[in-house]
Amino acid sequence: MSKPLVAIVGRPNVGKSTLFNRLIGHRLAIVSDWAGTTRDRLYADMEFGDREFTLVDTGGIMFGDTRDLPGTPNEILASVRAQAEAAIDAADAIIFLVDVEQGIHPHDLEIAQILRRAAKPIFLSINKCDNDARRLDAAEFYQLGLGDLFPLSAYHGIGVGDLLDAVLARLPRAIADDARAVPRIAIVGRPNVGKSSLLNAILGEERAIVSEIPGTTRDALDTEFQWGDQPLVLIDTAGLRKRGHIESGIEKYSVLRALRAIQRAEVALLVIDATQGVEAQDQHVASYILDAGKAVVIVVNKWDLLAKDNSTMETYTAHVRAALDFIAYAPIIFVSAKTGQRVRNAIDQALAARAAWHMQVPAAELNELARDALARHAPPTRGKRTLKMYDVKQLPNPPPAFLFTVSDKKLIHFTYERFLQNEIRARWAFEGAPIRMIFKNRGKK
């Protein structure tokens, strides 16, 4: 479905993320009293009545004065503004949010100038109008020359319905696309390994803010794009850390959103910094992917920065395999987001891993493999009891899970379970996909 886009813009700390959450009906955007919390664009599909559209939250637009955002580097402020302006360019309609308590701010005047040049439907929304006196004060904003005003309270939900009615009246209708499911690929990893750079390299545009400062990306960002004739969704996420190293507040919520992004995806691209090798934090990120049961591709980024000889890739592969042995089924690719080296391989491998994640094996072929495996490797025994295997089938939903009906599942040692799993992987191409083995006694659910 090709849906119209509605962007929420404004200067920092006027309540854009609060309004975004109010409109979509749940807390997706990070809300904080600290100005500048939202930096990249944040998208969500939503329905209102019989209409569907995409809503986008943006970072606060500022113009050279950083006193309201202490500790935020100028390069990030410039990037935030560029991202907000990109959202304005892409939008079919724009909600311009201002703060009635603070009145007309000089930055509001600057933003109004940008919006007038955009020639898009503008809905000037006056936030924090939760009583009659403030609704009267909202009239001041007619000075911006943007037409009708929409007094509202994003926090209390007052006036939000009237705003939506007005927006939908000016929006084009959604256009139906092919009904097939769109693959969703999450880009995950610890902070500052080049996730946003990889996203930009894949898309061929500056979609996400790139900075050497760890933690620049805070929200999980969905980007739809075409890969040949295949529509895809890429999810860029905030850097994940070991649970004990997650700070409270904004970083905590960013990690929660990254974990939810893994849950929403089918495949995760686990990005590792080639110059630093696999660290403990990388192992923890990999464990999140494994726990979620998602397909995974290991992407070793910044490969261009290493001095190499004929054995470098082989040596590095052995290092990665040893450190991440619990996802030994994951393919490894070596890329440079900066130069574009092998970046296309990341998506090709992700799509192959997704296909493996969805693959179904006929029960007849599984039972044939089980009989052959039992004949070549005697099943475990305990005293006079010997394991008997009656049936094996694959469960219908991903990730691949195989249900073995046996005489006594207590006889299954983990080494024999691993043997059976290896037999399955040797027979069918489940590269990139986790496999789950389930054993039940005959006659029991």
Q: What is the mean pLDDT of residues 107-115?
A: 89
pTM of the model: 0.58
3-state SS assignment for residue 74: helix
238: Cα separation from own chain's centroid: 9
Domains of the chain, each with CATH number or no CATH: 5-170 (3.40.50.300), 184-358 (3.40.50.300), 363-441 (3.30.300.20)
Helices (H) and strands (E) in the chain, counts: 12, 17
* Interatomic CA distance for residues 400 and 59, integer angstroms: 40
Confidence of residue 12 (pLDDT cuts 50, 70, 90): confident
Q: Comparing 2-11, 114-123, 346-355, 418-427, which segment has the lowest mean pLDDT?
A: 2-11
Handedness of CA 351, 437, 284, 266 (dihedral sign): positive
Residue 327 DSSP class: G
**Which contiguous run of DSSP H or E holds residue 272?**
strand 267-273
Q: What is the pLDDT of residues 320-364, one digit of tens each?
A: 999 999 999 999 999 999 999 999 999 999 999 999 999 999 999
Q: What is the pLDDT of residues 84-100, one digit of tens each?
A: 666 677 788 999 999 99
